[in-house]
Amino acid sequence: MAYLELQELRRAFGPVVALDGINVSMERGEFLSLLGPSGCGKTTALRLVAGFDRPDGGSIVIDGKDLTRVSPSRRDMGMVFQAYSLFPNMTAEQNVEFGLRIRKNRRAARRKRVGELLELVGLGHAGKRYPHQLSGGMQQRVALARALAIEPRVLLLDEPLSALDAKVRVQLREEIRRIQTQLGITTLYVTHDQEEALSVSDHVAVMWSGRIEQIGTPSEMYSAPATPFVAEFIGTMNRLEAVVVDGESGEVEHAGTRLTVDAARGRSRGERVLVLVRPELLELEPSTNGVGGDNNLTGEVSTHTFLGSVTRLKILGREAELIADLPTARVDSLPVGLPVVAHVPVTGTRLLSLGEGPASDEPDPGDR
Amino acid sequence: MRRRWIAPSAVVWLLVAAAFFLIPLIALLLFSLKSIQTGKCCSGAAYSYVIDDPQFLDTIRLSFQLSLETIAISLLLFVPTVYWVHLKLPRFRPVLGFIALVPFVVPPIVLVVGLLDLYKGAPEWFYAKPYGFLAAAYVILAFPYMFFALDAGFRSIDVHTLTEASQSLGASWLTTLVRVILPNIRVAALGGSFLTLAIVMGEFTMASLSAFRTFPTYIQRVNESQPYAAAALSLLSFLIVWVAMLALLFVGRGRPRPAQLAATR
Amino acid sequence: MHQPYLDQYWLTIKISLITAGAGCVLGLAIAYAVIREGTPRFLRTILTTFSGVAANFAGIPLAFAFIATLGTIGIVTTFMRDHLGFDPYAHGFNLFTQTGVELTYMYFQIPLMILVIAPAIDGLRQEWREAASNLGASSWQFWRHVGIPVLLPSILGAFILLFGNSFSAYATAYGLAGNGVFLIPITIGFYYSGNVLSDPHLAQALAFGMFVVLAVMMLLYIPLHRRSARWMR
C-alpha cells in the first residue's frame, strides 16, 4: 500500500496552470525526486504537500489519511527550504530544538535529541553558532537536523543544494541520502539538477508544464526515456530524426543514410521517429581510415570540450550535430576539422515515435 | 509561486487603519461645508471667506517663498558640502551624519527658543524679517532631511569615477559640480526639496513663537473667529502636503525611500 | 524644581510613552498586514505615500481635523449622539484632555512607525514563517519566538523615535487646546512668547529639562538595543 499519494493534484494561478492533475505514489521509506526545469510545477507540488498552498483539485493522502485540508503546522512533515530558513535570532542548537519546544518536550530530552541530530549531520561542534556565522552548507545541515528533530513521517526538500558551491553540493547530497537511508524516512526531493536526482533517488519523476512526463528508477530514466522531453532532459542524447523504411529489419533513413537499429523493429513503414543514441555509444574513426560498413554517418569534427577524463566532441553531420564522448587520451587523433565517420550501434539505441506521415520538409523515402 | 490571497487578519487591520485615517479628513471636509447659520451642511461660505481674505494669499505666498528660499539655501550649502565629504573626506561622513541628527532630535520649540536668544543682537534686516531669521531657522530644521536625501543620492553614484573622468577631460571644479554631479543626484535633490517644501509649508511652532505670519499661523488665527473656514484651510494644508508627497513619489520612482518623512508636530 | 513643572514633565512623559507604545504596536500590525506575502503590491505604495503625508500633516491642521471629528460638535460625536444615542462627552470623554491629545497624536505616530519599521519587515523572510509553521508553531508562537525577537532592535529604535516625536510635539497640542493643556512644550512657548507672563529664562530652563529627559531615554535605549541585537554580531 502506498504511503504517500498525490491524487490528481491540480493547481492554477489565474490562467496559468501550474499543476495539471498529477499522480504520484510513494512507498514508506522511499526517496523520490521531482525533477524538471524552472516553472514545471515541482515546487508547487511540494508546497501543496507541505500545506503552504491549497490545491484546486485532487488530494494528498498519507498512510491512508487525507491531509488536503489540514493546516501545515499539523501535517507532521519536515521541510528543508532552499535557503535562508534558519531563524537568525537563534543558535544552531536552538533552531534544531524549536520544533521540540513547540511540542513541549522536556528540556533534558530536547537537549539530548538536539545533540544527536547535530552529530548526525556532522555539526556537533558548531551548535552554539548563529546562522550568519555558518557557511551555506552548514546552514543547510542545520536545516536538515531541524526538520528531522520532530521525527516527521515525511521529509520534504525544496532544492536544498541549489544555493551551494558545486563541491559542497556533491558532498551534501550524498550525506542527505545516507541519513535518509539510515533513518528510513519517506522523502520527497525537488531539484532541477538531473545528475543530483539520478545519483540519490530510488525513483525519479520528470515534470514539465505541470505534468509528469515519466516516473521510474534512475537507470530506467537514463536508458529508456519515454518521451522526447525526458530524453533531452536526462543526460545528453543524440537525436536523429528518421523515417522507418522497413519495420521487420529495423531499417530507418536519416539524412539520406540508411541505418539499422533494433529498436525500430516492429514499427510501421513511414513512421516518423527519433533515434536516440547516447554520446558514449557513438564510435568515431577518421574518414581516411577507409572504414566501410553500415550504420555510419559522416561529418566533420567542429569542437572539443574537455570534461576531465572524457572529452566531448561535436561533429557537424549532414543534417544534425552529433555529440560523441571519448576518453581524453584518444581525441588527439581526431582534431578539429577532420572528416570522420560515426558508427551508430545496432543495439543500445532507443526509438521514440514522432507521429505518422512524412514531415513537410523531408523527401518522401518512396521517391528515391 | 507564492499564494496570492490576503490573510483575513490583514484585511481587518487595513480596514481599521483606513477608517482611522480617513474619517478626520472627511470630518474636515464636512465641517468646511457647514453653514454658520444652521450649523449643518452645506454652504460654501467658509471657502468664500478664505478666498476673499487678502491675508490668505499673503500668508500662503510668504510660506511658499520661504520654502523656496530654504530649499535654495539648503541646496547651495549642502550639495557642495556632501559632495566634498564623499569625495575627499569619507571619514568625516559619519560625523556629518551625527550632526545632521541634532536638529532632528532637538524639539522645534527648544530650537526656536535657543535661536531667538542666539540671534538677539543680530541686525534688524535679519532678525525681524522672515526671509532672514525664519529662513535660517528652517534651513537648520530641514537639514537632516536634506542631508539624508542627498547622502543617499551621493552614495548611489560613483563620485570618484565621475569626478576623475570629468577632470581628465579638462573640466573645472565648478563645471564638474554643475554639469556632471548635479544631474546625477537630481532625484535625491528633488526628493529632499519636496520634503523641505512640505515641512516649511506646515511649520507652525517656530513661526508662531517668532511672531511671523506664515500660512500655518494664519490658519490658527482664522480658527479664533471662523472655525469652519479654518477647517477648509486645514484641508488645503493637507492637500499641499499630499501633492508634495506625490511629487516625491513620482520623482523617486523605483528608488528606496528614506524613512525620515515626518517633521512637523 | 517646582512641583507643577514636575507634574507637567511627568504628564508629557506619560503621554509620550503611551503614544509611542501604542504607535509601535498598531504601526507594526498595519505595516505587517500590508507588506506580508499575499497582499497586493499597490497597497504598499498607497500606505507609504499616505504615511508620509499623515506623518507630515501633524500640527494645527491635524488638531482642527480631530476637533471636527471628535470635538463637542464634531462629526463623529454628533453621529454618536443622534444615531447611537450615546454621548461620549456625557461619559467623561473630552478631546481637550490627555486622552484626546493621545488619540490625536496617534494620527502621526502610527504612520511614522510604519515608515520606520517597513524596511525591517521587508527583512522578515517568508521562509521563517513557513519553517515555523512546518515545525508545528502557531502564528502567535512564530511571533513570540522568531518574529518579535528579530524585529526587536528596530522596534526599540522606532520606540525611541516615537517617544521623542511625541515629547517634542507643540503645534498639535497647541491647536487642540491652546495653552490649556499642561505639556512642557506648550509651557515653554507660553513663557517665551509671554502674553501674560513672560519669563524667557524659565522657558530656557524648562527647555534644558527637555534635553535631560531625552538624554535619559537615549541612555536607557543603548544597552537595551545592544542586548536585543546580540544574535546579529
Q: What is the mean pLDDT of residues C193-199?
A: 71
CATH of domain B53-251: 1.10.3720.10
Residues of B in contact with A18 (CB under 8 A): 1
Rounded distance between C-alpha atoms, residue C48 and residue C115, angstroms: 7
Pairing of strands A77-80, A211-216: unpaired
Listed in order, the ranges of chain A carrying CATH 3.40.50.300 are: 4-232
Q: For residue B259, what pLDDT band results from cuts at 50, 70 and 90?
A: very low
Cβ-based contacts of B9 with chain C (< 8 Å): 33
Whether A59 shows a pLDDT value over 90: the answer reads yes
Question: In whole angstroms, what is the distance from residue C60 CA to residue C171 CA?
Answer: 6
Report helix, strand or coil for A58: strand
CA distances from C75 to B49, B179, C65 (A): 22, 55, 10
pLDDT band at B177 (very low <50, low <70, confident <90, very high): confident
Q: Which pLDDT score, from 0 to 100, does residue A366 have?
A: 41
Contact residues, chain B, for A13 at CB < 8 Å: 1, 4
Find residues 41-100 of chain B whose CB sits inside 8 Å of chain C: none
Q: Which residues contact A298 (CB under 8 A, 6 or more apart)?
A: A287, A317, A318, A339, A340, A341, A342
Q: Residue A75: helix, strand or coil by DSSP? A: coil
Query: Chains A, B: CB contacts under 8 A, how many?
Result: 7
Average pLDDT, chain B: 85
Would an 8 Å CB–CB cutoff place A150 in contact with chain C? yes
Say how many CA atoms lie within 13 Å of B249 toward its Cβ: 16
Taking a C-beta distance cutoff of 8 angstroms, is the pair B212, B58 a contact? no
DSSP C30: H
To which H or E segment does residue C176 belong? helix C171-177
pLDDT-derived band at B39, boundaries 50, 70, 90:
low
C-alpha span between A213 and B127 (Å, rounded): 83
Q: Is A306 helix (H, G, I), strand (E, B) or coil?
A: strand
Q: How far apart are CA A364 and CA A273, in angstroms?
A: 14
Residues 213-232 of B with CB under 8 A from C: 216, 219-220, 223, 227, 230-231
Task: Look at residue A1 in the predicted model and tell me its pLDDT.
Answer: 66
Domain ranges of chain C: 3-232
The grid coordinates of residue A362 equal 523531408
How large is the average pLDDT for residues C114-133? 90
- Is residue B54's pLDDT more than 70? yes
User: What pLDDT is stored for residue A265 in this prediction?
Assistant: 86
Question: Taking CB atoms and an 8 Å limit, are C64 and B230 in contact across chains?
Answer: yes
Give chain A positions within 8 Å (CB) of C133. Answer: 51-52, 71-73
A44·B4 Cβ contact <8 A:
no
C170 and B30 within 8 Å at the Cβ level: the answer is no
pLDDT at C85: 82
Provide the residue count of chain B. 265
Pairing state of beta strands A31-35 and A186-191?
parallel
Nearest chain B CA: its distance from A58 CA (Å) = 18
How far apart, in whole angstroms, are the C-alpha atoms of residue B132 and residue C150?
47
Chain B: closest CA distance from residue A59 (Å): 18
Residue A34: pLDDT over 90: yes
Work out the percent of chain A whose per-residue pLDDT is above 70. 95
Q: What is the pLDDT of residue B101?
A: 80
Q: What is the pLDDT of residue A137?
A: 93
The stretch A329-346 carries a mean pLDDT of 88
Tell me the nearest-neighbour CA distance from B225 into chain C, angstroms: 14
Q: How far is A110 from chain C (nearest CA, A)?
A: 14
* Chain A residues closer than 8 Å to C135 by CB: 73, 78, 98-99, 102, 146-147, 150
pLDDT score, position C134: 93
Give the distance from CA A136 to its chain's centroid: 23
Distance CA B81, CA C160 (A): 29
Q: What are phi and psi of A246, to 5 degrees?
A: -140, 110
User: Out of C135, C138, C150, whose CB is closest to A150?
Assistant: C135
| Percent above pLDDT 90 for chain C | 36
CB A99 within 8 A of CB A149: yes
Q: Which residue has the higher pLDDT, A64 or B3?
A: A64
- Residue to mutate among C124, C125, C134, with most A CBs inside 10 A, is C134
For every residue of A163-224, DSSP letters joined together read TS-HHHHHHHHHHHHHHHHHHT-EEEEEES-HHHHHHH-SEEEEEETTEEEEEE-HHHHHH-
Cβ pair A53:B3 closer than 8 A: yes
Lowest mean pLDDT among A26-35, B104-113, B171-180, B209-218: B104-113
Residues ≥6 apart with Cβ < 8 Å to B222: B50, B53, B229, B230, B233
Of C134, C136, C232, the CB nearest to A50: C134
| Cβ under 8 Å to B: C residues 65-104 | 65-69, 73-76
Find, among B225, B229, B260, the residue nearest to B48 by Cα: B229
Kindly identify which residue of chain C lies nearest to residue B30, measuring between CA atoms: C75
Question: Model ipTM?
Answer: 0.85
pLDDT digits (tens, 9 = 90+) for A289-335: 766 677 888 889 999 999 888 999 999 988 888 999 999 988 888 88
Q: Do C137 and A52 touch (CB under 8 A)?
A: no
Provide the shortest C-alpha distance from residue C86 to chain B (in Å). Answer: 19
What Cα–Cα distance (Å) separates residue A101 from each residue in A114, B164, C1? Answer: 11, 59, 53
Q: Which residues of B touch A44 (CB under 8 A)?
A: 1
CA distance A49 to A158: 11
Beta strands in chain A (DSSP E): 4-13, 16-26, 31-35, 57-62, 65-66, 77-80, 154-158, 186-191, 203-208, 211-216, 238-246, 251-254, 257-260, 272-277, 283-286, 296-306, 310-317, 321-327, 339-343, 350-355
> Which one of B9, B12, B21 would you mutate to disrupt binding with C, by most C Cβ within 10 Å of its Cβ?
B21
Nearest by CB: B105 against C55, C171, C214: C214
> Are B17 and C141 a contacting pair, CB within 8 Å?
no
Give the C window 126-165 contacts with B, CB below 8 Å.
Answer: 126, 164-165
In order of A6, A51, A58, C193, the CA distances from A21 in angstroms are 9, 17, 7, 77
Contact C134 A72 (CB under 8 A): yes
Measured distance CA(B37)–CA(B40) in Å, rounded: 8
pLDDT in tens, B75-121: 999 999 999 999 899 898 888 888 888 887 788 888 888 888 888 87
Q: What is the pLDDT of residue A181?
A: 95
Q: What is the DSSP letter of C95?
A: T
Contact B153, B195 (CB under 8 A): no
Q: Which residue of B has its CA nearest to C200?
A: B113
Q: Is C200 on the interface with B (CB under 8 A)?
A: yes
A4-232, superfamily in CATH?
P-loop containing nucleotide triphosphate hydrolases (3.40.50.300)
Residues A173-207: pLDDT tens digits? Answer: 999 999 999 999 999 999 999 999 999 999 999 99
The CATH T-level fold of domain A237-367 is OB fold (Dihydrolipoamide Acetyltransferase, E2P) (2.40.50)
- By C-alpha distance, the chain B residue nearest C211 is B106
pLDDT value at A368 more than 50: no
For chain B, domain boundaries: 53-251
Mean pLDDT of C192-196: 71
CA atoms within 13 A on the CB side of A76: 12
Q: Which pLDDT score, from 0 to 100, does residue C196 have?
A: 67
Output A366 or A27, whichever has higher pLDDT.
Answer: A27
Does A357 score more than 60 pLDDT? no
Would you call C111 and B110 a contact, using CB atoms and an 8 Å cutoff?
no
Pick from A311, A308, A312, A282: nearest CA to A297: A282
What is the least distance, in Å, from the CA of B256 to any CA of chain A? 23
pLDDT band, very low/low/confident/very high, at A268 (cuts 50, 70, 90): confident
CB distance from C40 to chain B under 8 Å?
yes
**Percentage of residues in chain C with pLDDT exceeding 70?**
97
- Interface residue of A53, A54, A56 to substitute, partner B, most B CBs within 10 Å: A53
Per-residue DSSP letter, A309 = S
Contacts of B4 in chain A (CB under 8 A): 13
> What average pLDDT score do residues C75-99 get?
83
Is A80's pLDDT higher than 80?
A: yes
Instruction: Provide CB contacts within 8 A for C46, sequence distance 6+.
Output: none
Q: What is the pLDDT of residues A85-144, one digit of tens each?
A: 999 999 999 999 999 999 998 999 999 999 999 999 999 999 999 999 999 999 999 999
Using a CB-CB distance cutoff of 8 angstroms, which residues of chain A are in contact with residue C134? 50-51, 72-73, 75, 77-79, 147
DSSP designation for C125: -
Q: Is B4 on the interface with C (CB under 8 A)?
A: yes
Q: Is A154 exposed, middle or buried (0-12, 13-18, 19+ CB in 10 A)?
A: buried
User: With contacts defined as CB-CB under 8 Å, which chain C residues touch B114?
Assistant: 204, 207
Average pLDDT, chain A: 89
Inter-residue contact B105 to C215 (CB < 8 Å): no
Distance from CA of A175 to the nearest CA of B (A): 29
Q: Which three cell numbers stand for residue B171?
A: 573640466
- pLDDT band at residue A360 under the 50/70/90 scheme: very low
Provide residues of C within 8 Å CB-CB of chain A. 125, 127-128, 130-138, 141, 145-146, 149-150, 231-232
Chain C contact for A89, CB < 8 A? yes
Instruction: Please determine, for residue C212, whether its predicted confidence score (pLDDT) is greater than 60.
Output: yes
Q: How far apart are CA B25 and CA B220, in angstroms?
A: 18
Helix (H, G, I), strand (E, B) or coil at A91: coil
CATH code matching the domain that covers C3-232, chosen among 1.10.260.40, 1.10.3720.10, 3.30.230.10, 2.60.40.10: 1.10.3720.10
Which of C87, B54, C131, B19 has the alpha carbon at shortest distance from A142?
A: C131
What the block records as the C-alpha cell of B119 is: 540671534
Q: Which residue of B has its CA nearest to C166?
A: B265
Which amino acid type is present at position B129?
Answer: K
In angstroms, rounded to a whole number, what is the distance separating the alpha carbons of residues C181 and C158?
26
